[in-house]
Amino acid sequence: MLQVNEIRNEREKIEEGLKKRNIQDLNFLDEIISWDDVRKSTQYELDNILAKSNQLSREIGELYKNGKTEDVNVLRAESAELKNQTKTLQEKLNETKTKIEQLLFEVPNPVHRSVPAGKGESENIIIKSVGEPTENDLLPHWELAKKYDLIDFELGTKITGAGFPVYKGKGAKLQRALIQYFLDKNTAAGYTEVQVPILVNEASARGTGQLPDKEAQMYEVPLDGFYLIPTAEVPVTNIYRDEILEEKDLPVLLTGYTPCFRREAGSYGKDVRGLNRLHQFDKVEIVRIEKPENSYEALENMKNHVEEILNELGFTYRILHLCGGDTGFASASTFDFEVWSSAQAKWLEVSSVSNFEVFQANRLKLRYKTGKGTELCHTLNGSSLALPRILASLLEHYQTEDGIAIPAVLHPYCGFQSIEN
């Protein structure tokens, strides 16, 4: 969430970042400033009346001491009127603050100056490509999953509905192996593992920017006011909501595995077959809390970390810097990782790493102490990694005439080197 002072003091920078998102009508910024002018004038008037009220209280006390009760009654009437004015102004101030907050919650994060301009995913910039995409007469992962009895999509539909697969036998073991491998890679890189709830309250969803932007994509538990998490980013980052950290404790590096839940409203067609798009899926996440001056170096570090994992798995992949029109609501800069599926002849997104700068921290009230007071932290997160498309890519990429070979890096984790009939 933007701060009003940012809009006042860094207007040109904010407008540039929003225009890269293809937001051309920026009148809402003037509306926010206008409401803040009302807030400031109301606060000024309220402070003056409170000062008068305090002065009257002192005068009434003095009159009582001197036995001038008749004069007290006159001042009491004046004091009562001031209290009525105070109440009216306080209500107006609260309403104004609420209006400003509502407006600010609707404004996306202005993207960083390094983010390329563009309207949508076709204008994302490929910054690196490893391996050569090929198209072969291979089985897609949903056919491989059925052939080797690894994943039962129909059973998941019976139990719950489409998009809730059941992993079986070596399919379940391979899924568990990937999760453990990802966590071990992350902890070896300095991330502390945490296990967090998969249900969050509204404050947590608002804190990381899922609300009010993504209500339609989240599963809600209305009786209790909870939401099923779309990513571990939400509960992990909210560990530090309403916290003031010591400067010496930064950076904070956390990793966690969770099931994730997304309604994926509007998704349909061939792109949702098999593991391509699910309502429930597993994901390992990395989260960083950084000092502002270090956050873009941290983003580069996260990008390199995810790339190392993809290299160890032996995939053909590419890294994209998302253009303004394709960058998520809360992000200032995002890099996507895509793995090539030879069987489907297309790229599958398997990770995003993003820097949110102060956008989430302002919502979370997450600060750190400096020599001059406190300052908002920068928050970052990334998939390291999302399981469904990694598993799909692994099955397709490593299929042979005799079965499916398992990458050597996973042998210690899954206990087998191949999947065969």
**Element spanning 353, H or E:** strand 346-357
CA distance 358 to 374: 13
Split at pLDDT 50, 70, 90, the class of 181 is: very high
* Among 400, 353, 401, residue whose Cα is nearest residue 380: 353
> What are the CB-based long-range contacts (under 8 Å, 24+) for 121-124?
121/322, 121/323, 121/326, 123/323, 123/325, 123/326, 124/320, 124/321, 124/322, 124/323, 124/326, 124/336
Contacts of 369 (CB under 8 A, 6+ apart): 244, 245, 246, 247
pLDDT at res. 270: 54
Establish whether 258 is an annotated binding residue.
no
Closest C-alpha to 356, from 310, 298, 283:
298
- DSSP H helices, 106-219, are 141-147, 153-159, 169-188, 202-207
CATH superfamily of 24-105: Serine-tRNA synthetase, tRNA binding domain (1.10.287.40)
Q: Give CA–CA dist 213/395, Å, rounded.
A: 34
Give residue-wise pLDDT tens across range 21-43.
999 999 999 999 999 999 999 99
Q: How far is CA 203 from the centre of its chain?
A: 13
Place of tokens 């003031």: 244
Percent of the chain scored above 70 by pLDDT?
A: 97
| 297 assigned binding-site residue | no
pLDDT averaged over the chain?
Answer: 94
Q: Sketch the domain layout of the chain as residue ranges.
A: 24-105, 121-419
pLDDT in tens, 327-371: 999 999 999 999 999 899 999 999 999 999 999 999 999 999 998
Task: Give dist(CA 207, CA 203) in Å, integer.
Answer: 6
Residues in the chain: 421
pLDDT in tens, 246-256: 999 999 999 99
Does the annotation list 264 as a binding residue?
yes
Q: Is 283 exposed, middle or buried (0-12, 13-18, 19+ CB in 10 A)?
A: buried
Residue with tokens 């400033």: 33
Q: Is 349 annotated as a binding residue?
A: yes
pLDDT mean over 3-15:
95
Q: What is the pLDDT of residues 52-78, one digit of tens each?
A: 999 988 888 877 777 766 677 778 888
Cβ–Cβ < 8 Å for 326, 121? yes
Q: Binding site annotation covers 208?
A: no
137-165 pLDDT tens trace: 899 999 999 999 999 999 999 999 999 99
Which stretch of DSSP H or E encloses residue 357?
A: strand 346-357
Contact 229, 235 (CB under 8 A): yes
Say how far apart CA 322 and CA 126 lie, in whole Å: 9
Closest CA relative to residue 207, chosen from 324, 377, 373? 377
pLDDT, residue 66, reads 74
User: Is position 130 annotated in a ligand binding site?
Assistant: no
Q: Which CATH architecture has domain 121-419?
A: 2-Layer Sandwich (3.30)
